[in-house]
């Protein structure tokens, strides 16, 4: 098992293109009307309660039934400005669709995700303006991070008439929508289409390639702006903590996915014959499935606990399995096997002790691997605050915020993956940005 | 299996399901296919004077669809047959020869003068057809020429035209009534006085389906203009049932046989019409939107139903529900029902709560002890039935009669005695009991 097995373009361009086509093709009008008819129009609907952004789901579905798609899209987007992306990437099976009352008597929820996509697709295809910007307030807000939280906050603030400057580390806006989500969930450059539509509201200036802690400091922007929203996500990647972690073939899943997402034809990436993924979250699933689709022959996810403890939902796990990925549980990596590059990885079996604490059984086994992906979580980048790190209350290496997403500093709010309690979901980040923007608006109005 | 063989006006057919006078009965080709499929009879598409009328060559039909594209309501602006009279007569003669065990009645529409009736009635009867149905019902087109519903809305005209037909016909005469009247009884009585052997109802209801949302013209339209049409299909069944029941329970008309028409799409609809007094059934829209094959479920379902009820023939079912139809003033005001929600079946959609909250009497909880839970508040429940109607789970909410104790809403003890409005203290015209 040597380097010869790592190659690009193992599959033909046509095969790769097919493998990365839309995961859930959109509904046709007849399909959407029939599916919309299945909605009971619940009172105080459980699906809405289950939605982190509180979209009035029965309301938007009712508008699909009456062919009022513009109204339907407005109902969605006024609560969740990234309702288009969320329709594609939300784990609806553990959110709105899990709460659908149809589960109780027929075990088949209304397909809310695809209906949401049906309602919102025309907005982006036709670039419809659904929101108007209020008169300029003269207030200026700095938003650090152009991912879902940052853009959600920026759009809401701009709508309310404030001026917003978005500082973005990367060249393109969108954050994980652009660089992180599995390619087959958001085809045809949808992330950028959505970003452009959001910016169309006006009043948002974007400064790309600008990193907090490197190009700008918190102190300086607090000085210059009336308020600050921090949404720089998790720039750091957790390590396995094993020897030889920098060996050839041992890769960070998030870095590989970012490269994959930016690759034009996806035929220029190293593809292993035997891929092992360490981790149990969405990133592990995404890298495993995408590796399979790029032509890897054997792809195995190894997670140190059982299926119930995995961050990835049952639906996602089954999606990986039906895509040809093997998921192994109760094993923790202990040694990377390396010659001139990685050749395998050794695991120890794990179990829960009487107190429910994970422990090793001492039993070991190993897998061959020519590529090992690390997908064991991310952390706030260590240098992001520079000298200002101590000025925040933090927990678990993340920023501590209140219900209004305000940090311990009077003029600084935060949201998205960098706050304590975040759950790695686009929809939650969008809600953070929205809530923070409303809170910032109240704060600024009170100052007048 | 119950035998569906039915007799109507002395004509015996294998089942009570006849095709109503409509496009499906305009030609031998169609009617032959219907008889092959198993229909018991057909009322021929309405014949008129020669030369025949002409129809528009654009859309004749409009519909209301469900989102699954099921046709819920249907309308048409088609006139009577546009084929020459002799072509129709030849078809009828041949079919009657080929299908002696099926009924063929001929629908007719003639102007209000006796000579026309005298001329055409014997000519039609000569085909061997089993009888006539007088089209006093079509509400569109022909009414502008003083026929169809224009006759059916004037009892005196009904009586006169019926008398003319009876005078020249040896076979039975059915008068088909229009629902476009405020009270169905005067036309029915007029038909009886004119000598009609039976009535059939309902014909279609005056209607405009909708507008075209792009052009803001009425839809469907013929070259940018439209005209009202006749509405039918499942949506009109309740209107038809009411009128059938009125005729069946009114002394002057109760003896008259009724052919029930209006929205019969499956066997349950047939049960409705039969139990409310019809002894024959006519179907059009369901056949027009699904084809003749629906006769399978109509006859099979009806037969199974009769078996379940221990009835051996259709005639045992006829009129069974008529005694249960009365005037509002005779309803028992001492009778109390309350809704009951089966918590094991409840899926917690909250529909019952919100409709009771917004549109009725605030008698359903949304939370109990902080939990999402929907329970009836007996102190507020008026027994209106709205919650059982909106509940998406069949059988989850039921109406249960109170048989003893005190109605917690009114504080009045439940009484076994009946008491209706005619003797109620609040009725200024009450009869002293």
pLDDT at residue A418, rounded to an integer: 95
CA distance B238 to B179: 11
Q: Which residues of A touch B (CB under 8 A)?
A: 30, 33-34, 36-37, 40-46, 65, 101-102, 104-105
Asked if residue A200 is part of any domain, the answer here is yes
Higher pLDDT, A105 or B97: B97
**Contact (Cβ atoms closer than 8 angstroms) between residue B273 and residue B260:** yes
Q: By three-state DSSP, how is residue B211 classified? A: strand
Q: Is the Cβ of B359 closer than 8 Å to some Cβ of chain A?
A: no
Asked if residue A7 is part of any domain, the answer here is no
Burial of A422 (0-12, 13-18, 19+ CB in 10 A): buried
Q: Is the Cβ of B69 closer than 8 Å to some Cβ of chain A?
A: yes
**Contact (Cβ atoms closer than 8 angstroms) between residue B52 and residue B85:** yes
Give B178's DSSP letter: P
Asked if residue A66 is part of any domain, the answer here is yes
**Smallest Cα distance from A68 to chain B, Å:** 12
- Identify whether residues A243 and A372 lie together within a single domain: yes
Kindly state the helix (H) or strand (E) to which residue B308 belongs, with its residue range: helix B295-308
- Identify whether residues A259 and A358 lie together within a single domain: yes
Closest residue of B to A43, CA-based?
A: B350
Q: Rounded to the nearest 10 degrees, what angle do helices A112-125 and A190-199 cross at?
A: 60
Average pLDDT rounded to a whole number, residues A161-184: 96
A391-418 pLDDT, tens digit each = 889 998 899 999 999 999 999 999 999 9
Burial of A244 (0-12, 13-18, 19+ CB in 10 A): middle
**8 Å CB contact of A40 and B372:** no
Closest residue of A to B352, CA-based?
A: A43
Higher pLDDT, A13 or B390: B390
Cβ contacts of A42 on chain B, cutoff 8 Å: 349-351
**Domain, as residue range, for A167:** 140-235+380-447
B31-49 pLDDT, tens digit each = 999 999 999 999 999 999 9
Asked if residue A363 is part of any domain, the answer here is yes
**Contact (Cβ atoms closer than 8 angstroms) between residue A306 and residue A276:** no
CA distance B231 to B252: 29
- Taking the alpha carbons at both ends of chain A, their separation in whole angstroms is 68
Q: Is the Cβ of B345 closer than 8 Å to some Cβ of chain A?
A: yes
Cβ contacts of B393 on chain A, cutoff 8 Å: 105
- Identify whether residues A245 and A333 lie together within a single domain: yes
- Identify whether residues A218 and A258 lie together within a single domain: no
Closest Cβ opposite residue A101 in set B66, B349, B354: B349
pLDDT at residue A243, rounded to an integer: 95
Closest residue of B to A49, CA-based?
A: B372
How many A-B residue pairs are in contact by the CB < 8 A criterion?
Answer: 39
Average pLDDT rounded to a whole number, residues B410-415: 96
**Smallest Cα distance from A41 to chain B, Å:** 7
- Identify whether residues A295 and A244 lie together within a single domain: yes
pLDDT band at A390 (very low <50, low <70, confident <90, very high): confident
* Fold topology of B330-423: Alpha-Beta Plaits (3.30.70)
Average pLDDT rounded to a whole number, residues B222-242: 96
Cβ contacts of B66 on chain A, cutoff 8 Å: 37
**Contact (Cβ atoms closer than 8 angstroms) between residue A234 and residue A258:** no
Name the residue ranges covered by the structural domains of chain B: 6-324, 330-423
Asked if residue A195 is part of any domain, the answer here is yes
Give A268's DSSP letter: S
Average pLDDT rounded to a whole number, residues A378-390: 84
Q: Is the pLDDT of residue B428 over 90?
A: yes
Q: Is the pLDDT of residue A198 over 90?
A: yes
Closest Cβ opposite residue A42 in set B69, B345, B350: B350
CA distance A72 to A200: 20
- Identify whether residues A211 and A332 lie together within a single domain: no
pLDDT at residue A3, rounded to an integer: 56
Average pLDDT rounded to a whole number, residues A9-26: 88
Q: Is the Cβ of B392 closer than 8 Å to some Cβ of chain A?
A: yes
- Transcribe A170-233 into DSSP letters: SSSS-THHHHTS-GGGS-TTHHHHHHHHHHTTS-EEEE-S--BTTTB-HHHHHHHSSEEEE---
**Smallest Cα distance from A293 to chain B, Å:** 37
Cβ contacts of B349 on chain A, cutoff 8 Å: 40, 42-43, 101
**Contact (Cβ atoms closer than 8 angstroms) between residue B100 and residue B13:** no
- Identify whether residues A331 and A352 lie together within a single domain: yes
Asked if residue A44 is part of any domain, the answer here is yes
Mean pLDDT of chain A: 94
Cβ contacts of A104 on chain B, cutoff 8 Å: 347-348
**8 Å CB contact of B349 and A34:** no
Helices and strands (H, E) in chain B, number of each type: 13, 20
A55-66 pLDDT, tens digit each = 999 999 999 999
pLDDT at residue B433, rounded to an integer: 60
Kindly state the helix (H) or strand (E) to which residue A298 belongs, with its residue range: strand A298-302
pLDDT at residue B25, rounded to an integer: 98
- Identify whether residues A172 and A196 lie together within a single domain: yes
Phi-psi region of B350 (alpha: psi -120 to 50; beta: other; left: phi over 0): left
Q: Which residue(s) pair with A229 in the sheet?
A: A143, A413
Q: Which residue(s) pair with B173 in the sheet?
A: B132
- Picking from A43, A49, A59, A61 by the largest number of B CB atoms within 10 A of its own CB, the best residue to mutate is A43
CA distance A43 to A63: 16
Q: Closest by alpha carbon to B247, among B178, B328, B189?
A: B189
B51-76 pLDDT, tens digit each = 999 999 999 999 999 988 999 999 99
Q: Closest by alpha carbon to B111, among B141, B142, B147, B139?
A: B147
What length is written for chain B? 433
> Which CATH number is A34's domain given?
1.10.1060.10
The set of catalytic residues of B is 138
Burial of B206 (0-12, 13-18, 19+ CB in 10 A): middle
Q: Is the pLDDT of residue A332 over 60?
A: yes
Q: Closest by alpha carbon to A344, among A390, A278, A391, A409?
A: A278
Asked if residue A132 is part of any domain, the answer here is no
Q: Is the pLDDT of residue A154 over 70?
A: yes
* Count: domains in chain A: 3
Cβ contacts of A40 on chain B, cutoff 8 Å: 349, 351, 392
Cβ contacts of B67 on chain A, cutoff 8 Å: 33-34, 36-37, 65
Is domain B6-324 given the CATH code 3.30.420.40 in the classification? no
- Identify whether residues A156 and A256 lie together within a single domain: no
**Between the CA of residue B384 and those of B335, B353, B364, B395, what are the distances in Å?**
12, 13, 12, 16
- Identify whether residues A121 and A47 lie together within a single domain: yes
The ipTM assigned to this model is: 0.86
Degrees to nearest 5, angle at CA B350 with B346 and B355: 125
**Smallest Cα distance from B197 to chain A, Å:** 47
Asked if residue A2 is part of any domain, the answer here is no
The percentage of chain A sitting over the pLDDT mark of 90, rounded to a whole number, equals: 87
Burial of B228 (0-12, 13-18, 19+ CB in 10 A): middle
Average pLDDT rounded to a whole number, residues B285-314: 97
**Smallest Cα distance from B366 to chain A, Å:** 9
For the ranges A3-12, A68-77, A271-280, A304-313, the lowest mean pLDDT is seen at A3-12
- Identify whether residues A273 and A224 lie together within a single domain: no
**Contact (Cβ atoms closer than 8 angstroms) between residue A43 and residue B350:** yes
pLDDT band at B393 (very low <50, low <70, confident <90, very high): very high
- Identify whether residues A350 and A390 lie together within a single domain: no
B140-197 pLDDT, tens digit each = 989 999 999 999 999 999 999 999 999 999 999 999 999 999 999 999 999 999 999 9
- Taking the alpha carbons at both ends of chain B, their separation in whole angstroms is 50
pLDDT at residue A384, rounded to an integer: 86
For the ranges A128-137, A383-392, A426-435, B94-103, the lowest mean pLDDT is seen at A383-392
A239-296 pLDDT, tens digit each = 999 999 999 999 999 999 999 999 988 888 899 999 999 999 999 999 999 999 999 9
**8 Å CB contact of A40 and B392:** yes
Kindly state the helix (H) or strand (E) to which residue A14 belongs, with its residue range: helix A13-19
pLDDT band at A1 (very low <50, low <70, confident <90, very high): very low
Q: Which residues of B324-356 are buried (b: 16+ CB within 10 A; e: fewer)?
A: eeeeeeeeeeeebebbbbeeeebbbbbbbbbbb
């Amino acid at each position: 098992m040597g380097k010869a097995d790592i190659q690009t373009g193992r599959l033909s361009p046509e095969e790769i293109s097919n493998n990365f086509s839309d995961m859930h093709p959109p509904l046709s009008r007849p399909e959407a009307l029939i599916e919309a008819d299945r909605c009971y129009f619940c009172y105080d609907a459980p699906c809405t309660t289950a939605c982190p952004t509180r979209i009035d789901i029965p309301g938007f579905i009712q508008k699909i039934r009456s062919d009022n798609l513009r109204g339907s899209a407005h109902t969605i987007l006024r609560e969740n400005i990234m309702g288009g992306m969320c329709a594609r990437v939300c784990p609806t099976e553990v959110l709105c669709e899990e709460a659908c009352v149809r589960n109780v008597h027929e075990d088949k929820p209304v397909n809310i995700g695809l209906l949401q996509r049906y309602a919102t697709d025309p907005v982006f295809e036709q670039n419809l303006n659904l929101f108007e910007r209020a008169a300029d307030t003269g207030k200026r807000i700095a938003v650090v991070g152009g991912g879902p939280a940052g853009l959600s906050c920026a759009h809401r603030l701009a709508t309310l008439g404030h001026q917003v400057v978005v500082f973005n580390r990367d060249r393109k806006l969108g954050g994980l929508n652009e660089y992180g989500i599995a390619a087959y969930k958001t085809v045809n450059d949808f992330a950028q289409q959505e970003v452009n539509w959001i910016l169309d509201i006006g009043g948002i200036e974007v400064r790309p390639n600008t990193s907090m802690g490197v190009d700008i400091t918190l102190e300086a922007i607090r000085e210059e702006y009336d308020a600050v929203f921090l949404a720089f996500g998790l720039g750091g990647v957790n390590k396995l903590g094993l020897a030889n972690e920098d060996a050839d073939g041992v890769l960070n899943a998030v870095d590989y996915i970012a490269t994959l997402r930016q690759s034009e034809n996806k035929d220029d990436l190293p593809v292993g014959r035997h891929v092992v993924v360490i981790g149990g979250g969405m990133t592990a699933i995404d890298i495993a499935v995408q590796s399979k689709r790029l032509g890897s022959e054997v792809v195995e996810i190894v997670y140190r606990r059982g299926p119930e403890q995995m961050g990835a939902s049952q639906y996602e796990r089954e999606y990986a399995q039906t895509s040809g990925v093997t998921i192994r549980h109760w094993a923790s990596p202990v040694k990377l096997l390396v010659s001139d590059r990685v050749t395998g990885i050794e695991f120890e079996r794990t179990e829960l002790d009487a107190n429910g604490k994970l422990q090793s059984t001492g039993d070991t086994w190993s897998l061959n691997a020519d590529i090992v992906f690390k997908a064991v979580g991310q952390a706030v980048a260590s240098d992001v605050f520079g000298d200002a790190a101590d000025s925040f209350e933090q927990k678990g290496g993340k920023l501590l915020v209140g219900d209004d997403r305000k940090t311990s500093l009077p003029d600084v709010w935060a949201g998205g993956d960098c706050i304590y309690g975040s759950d790695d979901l686009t929809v939650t980040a969008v809600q953070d940005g929205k809530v923070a923007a409303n809170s910032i608006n109240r704060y600024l109005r009170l100052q007048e | 299996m119950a035998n569906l063989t039915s007799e109507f006006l002395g004509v015996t057919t294998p089942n009570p399901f006849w095709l109503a006078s409509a496009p499906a009965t305009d030609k031998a080709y169609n009617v032959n296919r219907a008889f092959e499929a198993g229909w018991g009879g057909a009322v021929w598409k309405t014949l008129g004077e020669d030369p025949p009328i002409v129809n528009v060559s654009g859309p004749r039909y409009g519909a209301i669809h469900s989102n699954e594209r099921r046709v819920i309501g249907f309308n048409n602006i088609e006139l009577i047959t546009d084929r020459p009279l002799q072509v129709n007569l030849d078809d009828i003669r041949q079919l009657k020869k080929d299908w002696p065990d099926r009924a063929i009645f001929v629908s007719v529409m003639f102007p209000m003068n006796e000579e026309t009736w005298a001329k055409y009635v014997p000519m039609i009867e000569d085909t061997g057809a089993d009888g006539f149905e007088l089209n006093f019902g079509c509400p569109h087109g022909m009414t502008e020429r003083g026929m169809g519903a224009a006759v059916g809305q004037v009892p005196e005209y009904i009586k006169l035209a019926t008398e003319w037909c009876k005078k020249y016909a040896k076979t039975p005469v059915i008068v088909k009534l229009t629902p476009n009247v405020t009270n169905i009884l005067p036309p029915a009585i007029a038909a009886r006085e004119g000598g009609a052997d039976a009535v059939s109802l309902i014909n279609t209801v005056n209607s405009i389906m909708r507008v075209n949302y792009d052009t803001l013209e009425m839809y469907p339209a013929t070259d940018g203009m439209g005209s009202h049409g006749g509405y039918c299909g499942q949506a009109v069944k309740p209107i038809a049932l009411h009128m059938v029941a009125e005729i069946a329970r009114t002394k002057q008309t109760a003896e008259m046989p009724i052919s029930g028409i209006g929205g019969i799409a499956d066997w349950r609809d047939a049960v409705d019409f039969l139990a409310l007094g019809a002894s024959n059934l006519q179907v059009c829209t369901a056949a027009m939107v699904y084809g003749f094959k629906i006769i399978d479920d109509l006859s099979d379902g009806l037969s199974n139903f009769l078996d379940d009820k221990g009835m051996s023939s259709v005639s045992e079912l006829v009129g069974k529900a008529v005694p249960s139809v009365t005037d509002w003033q005779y309803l028992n005001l001492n009778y109390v029902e309350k809704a009951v929600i089966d918590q094991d079946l409840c899926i917690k959609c909250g529909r019952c709560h919100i409709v009771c909250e917004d549109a009725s009497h605030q008698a359903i909880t949304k939370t109990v002890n902080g939990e999402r839970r929907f329970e009836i508040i007996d102190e507020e429940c008026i027994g209106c039935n709205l919650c059982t109607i909106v509940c998406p789970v069949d059988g989850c909410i039921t109406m249960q009669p109170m048989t003893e104790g005190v109605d917690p809403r009114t504080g009045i003890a439940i009484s076994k005695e009946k008491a209706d409005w005619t003797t109620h203290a609040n009725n200024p015209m009450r009869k002293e009991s």
